[in-house]
Amino acid sequence: MRRRLVWAGATAGALATIVLTGLIALTSQLTRVSFLPLNLADLLIRVTPGKIATFGIEALGPLAKMMVEAASIVTFILIGTALGVLFAWWAQRGRRRPAIVAGEIFGGLMLLFLLTLQLSNPSAVDLSTVTSAMLVILALGWGAGLGFIYGRLQSREVPATPSEIAADPARRLFLRRSAAAAVTLAIGSAAIAEVLRRAGEAATAEAALPPALLPPTASGTALRGATGDATAFKVPTGVRPYITTADKLYTVASRTRDPVVDPKTYKLTVDGAVRHALSISLADLQARPRIDQTSTLECVSNEVAGDLIGNVNWNGTPLKALLDEAGLEPNVERLVFHAAEGYVDSIPLDAAMLQTTLVVYGIDGQPLPRQHGFPVRIIVPTIYGMKNVKWLQRIEAIKTDFEGYWQERGWSNPAIVKTTSVVDTQGTQKLENGVVPLGGIAFAGDRGISAVEVRIDGGAWHKATLADQRSPAQWRLWRYDWKASPGSHRVTVRAVDGKGEPQTAELAAPHPDGASGYHAVEVSVRG
């Protein structure tokens, strides 16, 4: 009896919850209902101890987030399956009660579960009438589906076994059709939701544009040689583009989904230890003196020569101007940045007052893409990306120290960018007039790069030619014309920052304060 109850209830619960998952995805694009299965993932991320979270990030990288998201969806379906088993046991005890009516009672339990998940999302804790109504409809619909499927599978008082259902053509056909319909409805709803999501993001970005389109910043200007050298800098084949476009810039977030912020109602608050609190709309922010700044952003979890780095044309206004307008009280130590989805981090006052620290609303003259912080974010070239808070809603001045989201999980609070250099020219290379042009990038926060050196097969270090560095906050391209011989060789690179400090050779993992060590690659030369 127990096995029969488990199988029947689990089947009904799983099918009903698969449909529910797809409908929630669709509803999340039409109302303020969150995609609730991923709220489970966010809850898991928030309660995971820092050491475990750090281990997962270091061991799995981007896969860690994907695995948590997939696990949360599976867990959501398993919870619905478990409710189905409980329903089967309860329904069997009250045999006179119609299955659909009994299912609606369990729909009430599902409603409590959905409400709990909805309220766990910091950006959707307020339940509007429409949102509440949709949650009720979804929960009761799930209950009706649960009762209907269970009732059709169990036409007798004693629950049928899987073999008995397989032997009954009518119920076997119903089970196949139910499973196909559930999967089709779930996939179809999710596909429509994705179309609506993309259309909504495009409309939101268009609404964020000021009356006059932002003129794009120059991204294709030819690179020159180092200061004093009038010749053009020839970028070797294989070296990454000098400018990173928005679609190529890396993304890392502490939540499974990016928050949706309405640019028409958006307000940036500046408060805390200030004399005059500010509340600034997006239009007001865009009307302020605009700075077009090309600077490099790097993630603290970037491995040596990793891809979590980009040199971007940012559009915004200096944070210092906002702080001066608000009027900081004496003894302010840090500025705390609060994001729309609940993320929080801080920077010291001296970093906040640098002219290169910007409140950014655009990339290349266009609104920030949602994944990069739309409508407003902070850019601090001196500090790793975890402190360059996206989806910025509040800037709070405080007179004490502060540890943010990642610091509570064991990562560095100063988070000063380390000097790094990369060989982009790799693999098989062909001799060109007796040489192989090697090249790559070097970066040291806002300290700039004064020299790059290359070593072949453990030999002497040779100075590379540098492209002109338009700002110390940008990465610097380098080139070395190597008089190579055919065969396999090991190429190593190192850099010196603008203050004369050499890059450390000490190997260190990204945790807790950024990776370090020389980058070396194998290059095969053919004549």
Residue 215 has pLDDT above 80, yes or no: no
Find out whether 453 and 269 touch, Cβ atoms under 8 Å. Answer: no
Rounded CA-CA distance 392/317 in Å is 14
What's the average model confidence in pLDDT over 384-403? 96
State residue 199's pLDDT score: 76
pLDDT of residue 86: 87
Q: Is residue 49 packed enough to be buried (19+ CB in 10 Å), middle (13-18) or exposed (0-12)?
A: exposed
pLDDT over threshold 50, residue 230: no
Q: Which residue has the higher pLDDT, 137 or 193?
A: 137
* pLDDT value for 182: 84
440: helix, strand or coil: strand
Q: What is the pLDDT of residue 157?
A: 47
Which carries the bigger pLDDT value, residue 114 or residue 332? 332
pLDDT single digits (tens) 165-193: 555 666 667 777 888 888 888 888 888 87
Name the strand (E) or helix (H) holding 257. Answer: none
Q: How confident is the model at residue 227 (pLDDT cuts 50, 70, 90)?
A: very low
Residue of higher predicted confidence among 398 and 93: 398
- Type of residue found at 113: F
Q: Which residues contact 198 (CB under 8 A, 6 or more apart)?
A: none
The two tokens of residue 121 are 């999302």
Residues in contact with 120: Cβ distance below 8 Å, sequence separation at least 6, in sequence order: 39, 42, 43
Q: What is the pLDDT of residue 179?
A: 82
Residue 458 clears pLDDT 60, i.e. is over it: yes
Q: What is the DSSP string of 53-115?
A: HHHHHHHHTHHHHHHHHHHHHHHHHHHHHHHHHHHHHHHHHTTTS-HHHHHHHHHHHHHHHHH
Secondary structure (3-state) at 346? strand
Question: CA separation (Å) from 15 to 142, 150, 182, 184, 266?
Answer: 10, 10, 6, 11, 40
pLDDT score of 165 = 56
- Where b means 16+ CB within 10 Å and e means fewer, 483-518 reads ebeeeebebbbbbbbbeeeebeeeeeebbbbbbbbb
List Cβ neighbours of 211 (8 Å cut-off, separation of 6 or more): none
Instruction: Assign 158 a pLDDT band (cuts: 50, 70, 90).
Output: very low
To the nearest whole percent, how much of the chain has pLDDT over 90? 52
Q: Specify the pLDDT at position 59.
A: 62
Higher per-residue confidence, 151 vs 438: 438
pLDDT at 316 over 50: yes
Given a cut of 70, whether residue 97 has pLDDT beyond it is no
Mean pLDDT, the chain, as a whole number?
A: 85
CA–CA dist 210, 316 (Å, integer): 13
Taking residues 289-314, report their average pLDDT: 94
Average pLDDT over residues 206-234: 56
Within 8 A by CB and 6+ apart from 221, the residues are: none
pLDDT tier, 210 (very low <50, low <70, confident <90, very high otherwise):
low
Q: What are phi and psi of 38, to 5 degrees?
A: -75, -15
Please say if the pLDDT value at position 236 is more than 50: yes
Name the strand (E) or helix (H) holding 395: strand 392-398
Query: Would the pLDDT of 337 be above 60?
Result: yes
Q: State phi, psi for 498 to the nearest 5 degrees.
A: -65, -15
- Check residue 99 and give its pLDDT: 67
Q: What per-residue confidence (pLDDT) applies to 195?
A: 83
- Judged against a pLDDT cut of 70, whether residue 61 lies above it is answered with no
- Per-residue pLDDT tens over the stretch 241-291: 999 999 999 988 777 778 888 899 999 999 999 999 999 999 999 999 999
Residue 30 pLDDT: 82
Q: What is the mean pLDDT of residues 125-148?
A: 83
Mean pLDDT of 132-156: 84
Q: Is the pLDDT of residue 448 over 90?
A: yes
Give me 68's structure tokens: 């948590």
Residue 374 has pLDDT above 60, yes or no: yes
| Residues 129, 131, 135, 137, CA torsion sign | positive
**What is the pTM (predicted TM-score) of this model?**
0.76
Tracing tokens 């912080």 back to the chain, one arrives at 373
pLDDT for the residue numbered 273: 97
Rg (CA), the chain: 28
Is residue 378 within 8 Å of residue 358, measured between CB atoms?
A: yes
Q: Is 514 left (phi over 0), alpha (psi -120 to 50) or beta?
A: left
Task: Name the range with the highest mean pLDDT among 21-30, 149-158, 343-352.
Answer: 343-352
pLDDT in tens, 18-46: 999 999 888 888 887 888 888 887 777 77
Region 355-379: what's the mean pLDDT? 94
User: pLDDT tier at 220 (50, 70, 90 boundaries)?
Assistant: very low
3-state secondary structure 95-112: CCCCHHHHHHHHHHHHHH
Tell me, what's the pLDDT at 284? 95
